[in-house]
Amino acid sequence: MKKALIIAIVVVVALMVVLTVTAAPTAVGAEKCKMCHKVQYDSWVASKHAAATPKVECETCHGPGSDYMKMSVMKDLAAAKTAGLIIPTKADCAKCHGKGKVPAITDEMFAKVHAHKAK
């Protein structure tokens, strides 16, 4: 009986690990991004993206952050991209801009998407 219980526990734990590892990345929300990206967050809050319905949050453009939000990953751009970080291009913006009532993306708009810290 003990052996069957131990096997069952091992199977359940293994299944949990597999499901965790293979789960799709999830959004963590702009408030989590704000913890490290305050300049960008403050700029976003003042933008039309933040006022849009539905909101166009950080992860709308940069991808779900659950797999790249750790500091050790974010400090390595290649690792962050591998973990799902998207660095948007004008083509990405054009998925929404230029459709319906959303103005087409221009070079000037793209250059001013939101503020970034000076490097």
Q: What pLDDT does 69 receive?
A: 96
Q: Looking at the domain assignment, is residue 42 inside a domain? A: yes
Q: What pLDDT does 74 receive?
A: 96
CA distance 47 to 50: 6
Q: Looking at the domain assignment, is residue 7 inside a domain? A: no
The domain containing residue 46 runs over which residues?
Answer: 28-62+88-111
Q: What pLDDT does 41 receive?
A: 95
CA distance 29 to 2: 44
Give the number of domains in the chain.
1
Q: Looking at the domain assignment, is residue 1 inside a domain? A: no
Give 71's contacts (C-beta < 8 A, 6+ positions apart). Answer: 36
Q: Looking at the domain assignment, is residue 69 inside a domain? A: no
Q: What pLDDT does 43 receive?
A: 93
* One pLDDT digit (tens) per residue for the chain, 119 residues: 788 767 767 777 767 766 656 689 999 999 999 999 999 999 999 999 999 989 999 999 999 999 999 999 999 999 999 999 999 999 999 999 999 999 999 999 998 888 777 65
Give 37's contacts (C-beta < 8 A, 6+ positions apart). Answer: 58
Q: What pLDDT does 56 receive?
A: 95
DSSP conformation class of 75: T
Q: What pLDDT does 55 receive?
A: 92
Tell me the Cα Rg of the chain.
20
Q: Looking at the domain assignment, is residue 11 inside a domain? A: no
Q: What pLDDT does 98 receive?
A: 95
CA distance 19 to 17: 5
Q: What pLDDT does 19 receive?
A: 61
